[in-house]
Structure 1
């Protein structure tokens, strides 16, 4: 199936590792030229070389999106090779501090990193999409923005803000040929999560077998209808779909990829 991404250029923020890397790899496999963004040149360059080795097309943009200067650098590098048809806002940070631990400064820092960084890239990339008459803006959100928990309230709030700004943007770009949507992941397995599970297993009496640990963690912490963690490629697949021609009629939507963790009508 041709989803018509050949010839498109996609900027994926925070794509030097994790979900962003998976998204960039899948978009490249579908024929898009991908701009890999990160703050560390070595890690970012590794992903670029990985894509080139598979016959894909990729370039690099280095900069800290938590600052205006860094966002300027990233936008300039991304646009230096041509127009940007697709913006995937993925870069951000997590924090596990509780209400009693997170200071007002913590709230401001994570809001800047997780929300204002998205705004910075929208402001620098979307105007030229309007001239193209076509574009895709995908924001990575999260289920905790829909059904927050008592822990990490400042982080939960930033996910809710991402969902809100994406819908507002969709209304703003009406009739331009650009769409704005959210992909909302559930609990996704990655090396950092696997390490946390290993360290937490003794506390919760989950045993020592890695597969048993993952199963029990899902049952006790994140029960869902699939009974497992999600995989990075499952998020990448959802993003790739929303970038395709088959998603022309989808805008202002939240696509939950969480195995049924979030229960809402």
Structure 2
């Protein structure tokens, strides 16, 4: 299927590894020029080189999205690379650690909210006005199954993902009639480096040594049980993102699209 992405320009944040990298590679394979974003120059170059090696077009925008000046600089670099941005994929997020229920907790919550929500808002603020002017654009947030199905011991992270999905619906309404859509894609447990680390930690704490295969099986039979009985693959999330980003996804708007193997116990 031709997703009609030739000539489109995309910024994918946090695209040096995992889901973000898969999205960047897929959008590029479909014909979009992709700006790779991250904080590690070597990893960003690796992703960009992988795109160009496959015949795609890529550029790099490095930096931290948690401050206004840096986010603005990243947005400007992304726009300059190919003369504008048509597709914004807000994938970058923090999932390391969890704020404590102590006196320092509120500041930690605010820091996580800044990383996972305000960073996306900064780029939306910078990049959607030109999309409105052009009469076409896509804003896609990479959320989490933790939004409708909050995780134990991950209250703050779950809350940030809920906020991201909520603001996306409001954004879709504010963009009425502009040709710009806004959606959230919410993966469940996904076969990434981060999940491998989680499985390794689970194995160590349950007498499995370094057997991440056994740990993954135990997780899928226990706390991460889902009707599909498997982890989601990054390329599957990337394929869904590419469809939503394409002209063929024009009527997908204000949606939260779960891709979690039915982990989340809800009809929507």
TM-score range, shorter chain: over 0.9
2:93 pairs with 1:92: yes
Specify every segment of 5 or more residues in structure 2 that has no aligned partner in the other structure, as ranges.
Answer: none
Runs of 4+ more than 4 Å apart? 205-209
- For the aligned residue pairs, the C-alpha RMSD in angstroms reads 1.5
Question: Among 110, 130, 144, which residue is 1:108 paired with?
Answer: 110
2:213 pairs with 1:204: no
State the 1:120 CA deviation.
Answer: 0.1
* Corresponding position of 2:16: 16
Alignment of 1:1-265 (within 5 A): 1-80=1-80, 81-97=82-98, 99-100=100-101, 103-205=105-207, 209-265=211-267
Structure 1: distance between partners of 2:206 and 2:47: 36
Distance 1:42 1:203, change over 3 A: closer
Q: Secondary structure at the match of 1:143?
A: coil
Q: Deviations over 1:129-149 (max 9, x none)?
A: 011101111001111111213
Alpha-carbon contact 1:99-1:152 (below 8 Å) kept: no
Alpha-carbon contact 1:51-1:58 (below 8 Å) kept: yes
Specify every segment of 5 or more residues in structure 1 that has no aligned partner in the other structure, as ranges.
Answer: none
Task: Judge which range, 192-201 or 127-136, deviates more.
Answer: 192-201
Q: Secondary structure at the match of 1:139?
A: strand
- Aligned residue pairs total 265
Q: Secondary structure at the match of 1:221?
A: coil
Distance 1:147 1:196, change over 3 A: closer
Distance 1:98 1:121, change over 3 A: closer
Q: TM-score of the superposition, structure 2-length normalised?
A: 0.94
